[in-house]
Amino acid sequence: MGIAEGLEGLAAVFAVTDHPDQTARLAAAAGVIRETIAARALPLDQATFQAYVQQARNAIDAEAWRRAWEEGNMMSTAQAIILALG
């Protein structure tokens, strides 16, 4: 669960620094990891993270969000880490 949490944390940073496309990619990638290992976030953590995701989603048009989200869904864990740190 550590990698997913790290990606979610960096997605939140991207949300508050006006990079909603990166938020979408990392949030989607983190979701894939969580699904793969069947790990859910704690309810408070999930609620907080979703607030950041919604902030980012509101800052970008729907089509751009959808494209970025799909890109994140297709990323390997390594690709997501590189994106997060790049």
pLDDT at 13 over 80: yes
Per residue in 35-57, pLDDT (tens digit) is 999 988 878 888 999 999 999 99
Specify whether the CB–CB gap between 15 and 51 falls below 8 A. no
Token pair, residue 18, equals: 């006006």
Residue 62: count of CB within 10 angstroms of its CB: 8
Cα separation of 5 and 64, whole Å? 24
pLDDT at 1 over 70: no
- Domain assignment of residue 6, given as a range: 2-85
Number of domains comprising the chain: 1
The residues, ordered by sequence, that sit 6+ positions from 65 with a Cβ below 8 Å of its Cβ are: 20, 21, 24, 56, 57
- For the whole model, what pTM was predicted? 0.92
